[in-house]
Structure 1
Amino acid sequence: MHLSELLAEVRPHVEANFRSPGGDWPACTLFFSVSDGTSRARVRHASASDFASAWLAGTEKLEQLVQRRGMQVRWLRIDWVEEVRETTMKAWSEELAKTKRNYYRYGVALDRGLKIAFLEQELNGNAMLYGGNEVAHATVNLHNFNVYAANRYGAGTELDPGRDRAVYVLSTRGVFRDALEARTHLLYGPGRNAGRRVRDRLTDQDVFELIERGALYLASQVQESGKFHYGWHPCFDRPINAYNSLRHASTTYAMIEAWEVTRDETLKQAIDRSLSYLTTKLIAQAELPDGRRGAFLVDGSEVKLGGNAVCLLALSKYAQVTGTDRHHALMAALAEGVLFMQDPATGRFVHVLNYPDLSVKEPFRIIYYDGEAAFGLMRLYGLTREPRWLEAVVRAFDYFLSAEHWKAHDHWLSYCVNELTTYRPQAKYFEFGIKNFADYLDFVRDRITTFPTLLELMMAAETMLQRLVMYPEMRPLLNAVDLDAFYEALERRAHYLQNGHFWPEYAMYFRNPARIVGSFFIRHHAFRVRIDDVEHYLSGLVAYLRYLQAGGRVRALRLQAAA
């Protein structure tokens, strides 16, 4: 579609939602952002005393830009200024210092006429307010700010950092259109949802599409060898030069969960490549002291308890959804490796071994490993019904209970106790599962970061609660749960995960949007996209989709009635 046609179709949506900032400011300021889908958005803006004049001036600038660059416009976004607030550089810097890193959601202008102005997405996409991971709050990065300002407006538009210099904070709202789609999306204004498409509720189809896009992104990161591109810093399209075998395995597990939903062949082929790399390059066999054959996921010179666990998760899930038994012997060996790391008397796990001598390196590293190990053994037990695996989990939970592991609010423990109560529906396990979330609901509901593992925690807990009410003698345990607060927190967290999705209307402001669109990011880590970040979004959304398909809020009402 030609740009002029696209603009003609989008204009009515802008006019219908436009609101002037009023006051002593230009009555209408419009920002026009365009991208071909493969390069960072180019932005032009115009101010005038009325909408029609601003539209004409802005679209003329845009047409000249597109013609000069020979650009084929794929994405068009138009924003307008709804409010302007004058402040000083000193006061603005203090405001930034009170804002979490990368969470500043306003634009800024350097002059009263708004002639030198930047959208929030330009500021964040170019790391103009990012001081590095060692700085927890937003702050002006003078170098990045001036590089982009010069690129956008020409030399001589650098930011004067003088304390008394006036700056103008902009509240904006906008619309977005993909030239390959028929729908124009209204975008949220300032706030935690700023800059993404408005959605009042998530339908089954909405969640399916989020899963599909995230899973296909991961599939695109699996190389022919089966090894992943580990991750990207998208502001400047820089690769993350590291690798982690545990995250390779756990990401593959999430991809298999997603494939069970989408049945996409491209995704399946990527899964097979990833599993081949996992089983032939990353897992090593070893003879244990008692003569049994074990297997271990090797990460450099280490063996991590959680590594073996997530291998079990990936391979058992693959066996479940495909019906294959070709990894059964390897899974048994991996489980032997987990048992090798467990004290049979106390049930406690050792977390990290040296490789290849398998001596103890660290008795404890992170609580995640305990939950992962127990969950992996439970999934293998569900597949094979080998009593040894369940017995090991029961021993582990004796330790978890005595150590009060529920205080960690760990999503892996939530997964595991949900599985354990399937086969051992005992009050102590249900109570553990409830304590793991009951005093955590405010955090789940209100946490400013997307924190996707919180949704995983809640979805596993919801499944466990649905099982609990099947046992009348267990129902008094629900007295410890505020079910209204529980479901409000669950729904709020599921919807909030959309703020970590690289929608095209946000991805277009980063250096290589084609690389990241459809993925999920961690905002406070400079919008980092790493395979395990995407993994946790996917697992939570897959569980949420199943919840919606099983009745969603109707399930909540049934649970409350039963309680």
Structure 2
Amino acid sequence: MSLGQLASSAKPVLSRFLEETEYSVPACGWVLFFAVCNGTERAHVVNVRGDDFEQAWSNGMQRLRFWLKRQKTPPRWLRVDAVSEIRELSWLELKDTFAKTKTNYFKWGIGWDKELRIAVLEQELSGTSSLYTGDIRACTPHQRNLHRLLNRRFGVDRGWPKSDSDPMWVFRTRAVFANGHETLALEHEGNMAGVRRIETLDVGLVREVVRRSSAYLARQVRPDGRWHYGWAPAFDKPLPSYNSLRHASSAYALLEGWELTKEPKHLAAAERALEYLCRELIHDVRLPNGNEVSYLVDVGNEIKLGGNAVSLLALAKHAKLTGDTSRYSLMENLALGLLAMQDPATGSFVHVLEYPSLALKETTRTIYYDGEAAFGLLRLYELTGDPRWLQAVHKAMDHFIASEHWRAHDHWLGYCITEFTQHVPEEKYFLFGIQNVREHLDFVLTRLTTYPTLLELMMAAEKMFARMQNDGRLREILHAELDLEKFDRALNYRARYLLNGYFFPELAMFFKAPAKILGAFFIRHYGFRVRIDDVQHYLSGYVSYCDWLSGRRG
């Protein structure tokens, strides 16, 4: 794709967009930012000025053509931002604003002079971690990273100011993005500013998001079946740790994605991850009573209740989708390992044991493990019909009710109660499922971070509520206990808002290796971290949402 082709499609769309949104020219005149990217390297950005739109556009194109003469790879994407609002602040005032703003949720570009000759877009700050030092509570200026950015962009030796009285200028823009196939106006208001405008989610868009995020996950499975665990995308740095539980749960999510995409590469990658899981991470253990069980062993020689649970989920999902029964004995041993961690009298679970001694390390670590364990046992019960697994879940559910586990609003517990009520349709369990979401709807509607497990929670509940609607007695309970209009509004809001954590090309182009992260999901307040389990939760939620939109859910 040539620069001329991209520009010829972007220019009229930007001009029309500015007219439609009643754009007013800042006092300093027209300021445009042109960002061009070949897809594999960080975007090259130039900011230009002009007395009118045409002059500013011409200046930008002239600078880009000059730069492209020295490039070997043609451009793939073009983004053009027009500055629409400028405010002057002292460095002290700007630092105070940073301190009150959630990490990487600062939605303004920043300039060092009133004419924005030295200025960078919000996305450039994000793509270089210039407002991130590891603190997830607030934006924190990173001196070295900003210095590198300004040196690369402008050839200047400067960074964040040293004096509190130094003036700074912040600005907002209205932008369009062209990829050679279409040109899109980008959102310019709110927390979704900077990516394409999406009023509603349709099946086609959600299906494409699922396909691309499944493809991303599949690319992370190495030939030996171990994952590339995650990346810090600002500088394409691998995350150094590993987690066996997340290895298994990410394989489970990839299988969910494959169920929708039917892409052979997605299934092949998931199967490599499962083979590694069974070969390297799951170990046979003999209990004090002489019985043999299997446990997933994690870093630090830990046996985690949730580790066995998600291993069971992944293996059961594969068996159900493919008809492969070769791992039934292993799944039974994993389930027996879970039962060995359950108190048969109370139904409660212990959470962490030491391997290989099986000494108790922690009675309780995270609420997630309980729901994962019960859900995993249910999936095995559905596969085999063995009553041992349903009996264990029945005891666990009564324990969850007695201990008011619903107060955690756990998505795994949501999955569990939805599945459990298919087998034990008693009123108290449906009420528990309602409680698990009812007091959480305001949180779902207002949470600033994407929090992908919220969509999973809502989709699990929706599946149960749909069944309740088809039963006269249960429908009365549902309508009496839950504001369904608010529930639907919260569900759809969260599904749309999750795209604030998705690497569309108009955002990915500002990071070190755009093609590598394209279609992945990230956690913004952790420096746009992309980790397999982060993608897992977004993907699982969207697979379920796509099914719901398609009318396939019962």
TM-score range, shorter chain: over 0.9
For structure 1, which segment, 285-294 or 98-107, has the greater mean C-alpha deviation from structure 2 after superposition?
285-294
Tell me the TM-score normalised to structure 1 length. 0.95
**Superposed counterparts of 1:146-225, under 5 Å:** 146-179=147-180, 182-225=181-224
**Superposed counterparts of 1:98-497, under 5 Å:** 98-133=100-135, 136-179=137-180, 182-300=181-299, 301-478=301-478, 479-497=480-498
- Structure 2 CA distance for aligned equivalents of residues 23 and 369 of structure 1: 55
For structure 1, which segment, 270-279 or 71-80, has the greater mean C-alpha deviation from structure 2 after superposition?
71-80
CA offset at residue 347 of structure 1?
A: 0.5
User: What CA deviation, in whole Å up to 9, does each residue of 1:88-133 have, x standing for no partner?
Assistant: 1111111111100111011111111111111110011111111323
Instruction: Confirm or deny: 8 A CA contact 1:108 1:169 kept in the other structure.
Output: yes
Equivalent position of 1:561 in the other structure: none
- Structure 2 CA distance for aligned equivalents of residues 238 and 381 of structure 1: 42
- Structure 2 CA distance for aligned equivalents of residues 324 and 426 of structure 1: 33
Partner of 1:298: helix, strand, or coil? strand
Equivalent position of 1:65 in the other structure: 67
User: What CA deviation, in whole Å up to 9, does each residue of 1:248-301 have, x standing for no partner?
Assistant: 000000000110000001111101111100111111112223333211101131
User: What CA deviation, in whole Å up to 9, does each residue of 1:191-227 have, x standing for no partner?
Assistant: 2111111111111110010001001101100000000
- Structure 2 CA distance for aligned equivalents of residues 22 and 546 of structure 1: 43
- Structure 2 CA distance for aligned equivalents of residues 178 and 240 of structure 1: 30
- Structure 1 CA distance for aligned equivalents of residues 157 and 363 of structure 2: 58
For structure 1, which segment, 20-29 or 101-110, has the greater mean C-alpha deviation from structure 2 after superposition?
20-29
CA offset at residue 476 of structure 1?
A: 3.5
Instruction: Confirm or deny: 8 A CA contact 2:6 2:77 kept in the other structure.
Output: no
Partner of 2:106: helix, strand, or coil? coil
Instruction: Confirm or deny: 8 A CA contact 2:92 2:165 kept in the other structure.
Output: yes
- Structure 2 CA distance for aligned equivalents of residues 60 and 114 of structure 1: 19
Instruction: Confirm or deny: 8 A CA contact 2:347 2:396 kept in the other structure.
Output: yes
Equivalent position of 1:87 in the other structure: 89
Number of matched residues?
550
C-alpha change, 1:384 and 1:160, in structure 2 (3 Å) is same
CA offset at residue 446 of structure 1?
A: 1.3
- Structure 2 CA distance for aligned equivalents of residues 50 and 551 of structure 1: 53
Partner of 1:428: helix, strand, or coil? helix
C-alpha change, 1:551 and 1:173, in structure 2 (3 Å) is farther
CA offset at residue 516 of structure 1?
A: 0.8
* Segments of 4+ moved more than 6 angstroms: none
- Structure 1 CA distance for aligned equivalents of residues 30 and 552 of structure 2: 46
- Structure 2 CA distance for aligned equivalents of residues 160 and 494 of structure 1: 40
CA offset at residue 359 of structure 1?
A: 1.6
CA offset at residue 457 of structure 1?
A: 0.2
CA offset at residue 17 of structure 1?
A: 1.3
User: What CA deviation, in whole Å up to 9, does each residue of 1:503-535 have, x standing for no partner?
Assistant: 111011011112211100000000000000000
- Structure 2 CA distance for aligned equivalents of residues 169 and 226 of structure 1: 47
Equivalent position of 2:4 in the other structure: 4
Instruction: Confirm or deny: 8 A CA contact 1:173 1:190 kept in the other structure.
Output: no
CA offset at residue 436 of structure 1?
A: 0.6
CA offset at residue 393 of structure 1?
A: 0.3
Instruction: Confirm or deny: 8 A CA contact 1:21 1:81 kept in the other structure.
Output: no
For structure 1, which segment, 263-272 or 470-479, has the greater mean C-alpha deviation from structure 2 after superposition?
470-479
User: What CA deviation, in whole Å up to 9, does each residue of 1:125-172 have, x standing for no partner?
Assistant: 111111323x62113222221221111001245443322222111111
- Structure 2 CA distance for aligned equivalents of residues 158 and 310 of structure 1: 46
Instruction: Confirm or deny: 8 A CA contact 1:233 1:240 kept in the other structure.
Output: yes
- Return the letter of the residue paired with 2:212: R
- Structure 1 CA distance for aligned equivalents of residues 317 and 485 of structure 2: 33
- Return the letter of the residue paired with 2:63: K
* Aligned match for 2:77, one of 68, 75, 78: 75
Equivalent position of 2:49 in the other structure: 47
Instruction: Confirm or deny: 8 A CA contact 1:21 1:27 kept in the other structure.
Output: no
- Structure 2 CA distance for aligned equivalents of residues 139 and 413 of structure 1: 36
Partner of 2:437: helix, strand, or coil? coil
Instruction: Confirm or deny: 8 A CA contact 2:26 2:84 kept in the other structure.
Output: no
CA offset at residue 22 of structure 1?
A: 4.3
Equivalent position of 1:508 in the other structure: 509
User: Which segments of 5 or more consecutive residues in structure 1 lack a partner in the other structure?
Assistant: 556-563
Partner of 2:172: helix, strand, or coil? strand
Tell me the TM-score normalised to structure 2 length. 0.97
Q: 2:534 aligned with 1:523, yes or no? A: no
- Structure 1 CA distance for aligned equivalents of residues 422 and 298 of structure 2: 33
- Structure 2 CA distance for aligned equivalents of residues 36 and 442 of structure 1: 42
Equivalent position of 1:550 in the other structure: 551
For structure 1, which segment, 150-159 or 40-49, has the greater mean C-alpha deviation from structure 2 after superposition?
150-159
Q: CA RMSD in A?
A: 1.5
CA offset at residue 551 of structure 1?
A: 7.5
- Structure 1 CA distance for aligned equivalents of residues 293 and 491 of structure 2: 39
- Return the letter of the residue paired with 2:203: D
Task: Tell me the percent identity.
Answer: 47
Instruction: Confirm or deny: 8 A CA contact 1:26 1:49 kept in the other structure.
Output: no
Partner of 1:436: helix, strand, or coil? helix
CA offset at residue 8 of structure 1?
A: 1.5
User: What CA deviation, in whole Å up to 9, does each residue of 1:431-469 have, x standing for no partner?
Assistant: 111101101101011111000000000000001111123
- Structure 2 CA distance for aligned equivalents of residues 406 and 225 of structure 1: 40
- Return the letter of the residue paired with 2:321: V
- Structure 1 CA distance for aligned equivalents of residues 343 and 159 of structure 2: 63
User: Which segments of 5 or more consecutive residues in structure 2 lack a partner in the other structure?
Assistant: none
- Structure 1 CA distance for aligned equivalents of residues 95 and 68 of structure 2: 35
CA offset at residue 26 of structure 1?
A: 2.8
